[in-house]
Each structure stands twice: as C-alpha cells, then as structure tokens.
Copies of this chain bind each other. A is one copy, B any other.
Amino acid sequence: MLSYTGSMTEAQTYTIAVIPGDGIGKEITPQAQAVMEKATEGVAQFRYVPFDLGADRYLRDGVILTDEILEEIKKTDAILLGAIGDPRIKAGILERGLLLKMRFALDHYINLRPSKLYKGVTSPLANPGEIDFVVVREGTEGLYAGAGGSTHAGTNQQVATEVSINSAPGVERTVRYAFELAMKRRKHVTLVHKKNVLVNAGDMWQRIVNEVAEEYPEVTHDYLHIDATTIFIVTDPGRFDVILTDNLFGDIITDEAGAVVGGVGYSASGNINASGQYPSMFEPIHGSAPDIAGQGIANPTAAILSAAMLLRHLGLEEPAQRIEAAVEADIAEKGSTQRSTEQVGQDILDRLSE
C-alpha cells in the first residue's frame, strides 16, 4: 500500500542481491528480508534480485559462480546471503568456488564480525561478564590467497605448501578501518597475530599498526599472540573492544567468540568492500546446518542481524539500530524459549511495529 505523503516520496530504492543458498539459509533469509522491509518503511525500498547459487544449483547444472553471474551481482547495492554448504559436496568446492571467490572478486577486504553477549542468552562461560567486541578480519589476503601447491601428490613423497601472502596496502586499509571503528567505540584496538613465529607477516602488521596509530592518538592499542587470544576469549572476553587480525586468525577467533556469546546463531557478519567500489555481502556466521534444515526451526536471528549490518552499510543507520534494539529485546524476553523460524521473525516484526 503506497502512501503519497511524508518521507515516502524521498525513499531511495536499493537493489539487493539475495543468495539464500543451502539448508537453513533458504529458511532464514526470507525472515531477514521481511524485517529489513519493515524497519525501512517509508525511508527505503528494496528491489531484490534472487541468485540461485549453492549446493543444489551446483549438483543440478555444475554452476558455482560464473563471471556472468558475478557481473550481475556487481550491479547491485549489497548482497544478503543465507548459508552455503552441503555434506554431499567435497569440502572446499563451494567454499572456494563461491564464498571465497566472491570475497576476492568483490574485494571484500573487511570481514566484520561483532560479538555481543545479549541479555537472555546463556553463555557456556560460568562468569562471562559483559562481552561486546568486534573482530575486524582482513578478507582478501593471507593464507586464503589460494597460493599453495603440491609435488608428488597422492604419494608418500608428497610435499604440500600453503602460502600466506600479505601486502602492505592490503594490511594498511584494514588497519585504518579498525582504528576508524575504534573511534566510534571504546577506542581500543588489539592486534592479534603470531609474530614470534610468523615474523615476516607479523612484523609488517605490527609496523603498520604502529604507524597508523600515530594518526589516532585517542585510540590505545596492544598486541596478543593468537594462542594467548584463545585463552582470553574464554577467561576475560570483556577486555576486547576491536580485535584486528588476519584472514585465518580472524576465522578462528570469531568462531570461538561466537561460542562464548552463546552460539554462532547470534553472530552476524559483513564482507565489506569499504571503498564502495563493489557491493558488500552480509551473512550469518553459522553454516547451512543440514541436520535441522527443512524443519522450520532454524533461528533467523543472525540473518536478521546481518540485514541490520547491511542497512548500516547503506547508510540506513536508524533502521539498523531499530532492528538491533528489537532483536535485543526479543532475546531478553524469549531468549531460551523454543520457537519456529517464522515465529522469531514475526516476534521481531511485531516489536518493530510497536
């Protein structure tokens, strides 16, 4: 129903690529879209372009992600993704052919992953305290470059390598993003690496952090080895504000962080091209959960929080905050009750109408 008054006439239209993907991805994505719609009523409109990508598509016609599809995706303003993965497909095929290919092709150099312990969520930690940090993970370099190889593959003389490639410009833009983000938060950056062993990459990360930090005198920064970080995430997660780290360490840390805030079911993420050249992608941290797919019981909260991140990225800060507040209130009240996917979506929609 159109209204011809008020801000409606100014409502901007955004084109959103929607990739529901596999398993529960197909169930949670519609809930995220409904919430996006509701929260932006009168201030934004969305044109959704669905992309049939993931395991089913691959098994049907062998397509993972073609250059033509990528060109179509590049025309959109942002991407909303559900989940990708299927036990019928060998590990690595879809991850590298779809998820990582997209991150690289769209230069998603910031992988942004907030970890927050919501009231009403039970942490596996006995005394979690307040947990509210964000991991800024580099998304286009490091061991994800795909630069490994093998000799004598399949024999007992095989040698397999994996190469971590790190460039100063690639690191610097990530470091800058982290310090900018820290300025909007509690103004503390923790660099996580393993510089006592990976001295080449580690020293470069530390050098660039030290250099950029000089431009942000209000932001304090410290350093932790990745191994020590896994300890503090369990024993003192409250110490973190912005964690800044490379691609692989970020992958590891954010899953552990998801666990201590009560499960990756509450963790959203953004794969962000902060330069604005390409559309950014927003997705829950969790996977396609084939064990519970098709039952309508998957929790859409992480997908809904990902939609909020998407809105923030488009500059729609106020609707993003309203969604986050609604989610927070929903969890505080109903956190531990079993609800269907639709019911959680509906409960959050209802709160947005209040």
Contacts and interface: CB of A to CB of B under 8 A. Distances in A.
A88 to B, nearest CB: 14
A126 B234 CA distance: 11
Contacts of A194: 248, 251
B164 A161 contact: yes
Contacts of A105: none
Copies in the complex: 2
Contact of A197 (B96, B166, B197): B96
A280 to B, nearest CB: 21
Contacts of A148: 164, 198-201
Contact of A196 (B92, B150, B160, B172): B92
Given A149-B200, A231-B264, A91 B195 contact: yes
Interface in A138-178: 143-144, 148-150, 152-169, 172
A225 to B, nearest CB: 8
Interface stretch (A55-63, A72-80, A254-262, A334-342): A254-262
Interface string A222-234: 0000111011011
Contacts of A162: 143, 163-164, 166, 198, 200-201
Contacts of A123: 126
A252 B235 contact: no
Contact of A160 (B152, B155, B204): B204
A100 B197 contact: yes
A124 interface: yes
Given A227-B255, A256-B234, A168 B196 contact: no
A132 interface: no
A127 interface: yes
Contacts of A312: none
A125 interface: yes
Tell which of A95, A96, A123 has the most Cβ of chain B within 10 Å: A95
What is the interface residue range for chain A against chain B? 35 or more
Contacts of A185: none
A164 B92 CA distance: 18
Contact of A231 (B149, B207, B256): B256
Interface in A177-222: 194-204, 207
A199 to B, nearest CB: 5
A125 to B, nearest CB: 6
A99 to B, nearest CB: 9
B166 A163 contact: no
Interface in A255-279: 255-256, 258-260, 263-264
A153 to B, nearest CB: 8
Given A143-B197, A148-B198, A207-B154, A159 B167 contact: yes
Given A157-B168, A207-B154, A256-B230, A199 B96 contact: yes
Contact of A124 (B127, B163, B169): B127
Nearest to A127: B124
A197 B95 contact: yes
A234 B259 CA distance: 7
Given A200-B149, A234-B259, A235-B124, A92 B195 contact: yes
Given A161-B165, A164-B143, A230 B231 contact: no
A17 B95 CA distance: 48
Contacts of A163: 161-164
Interface string A122-137: 1111110000000000
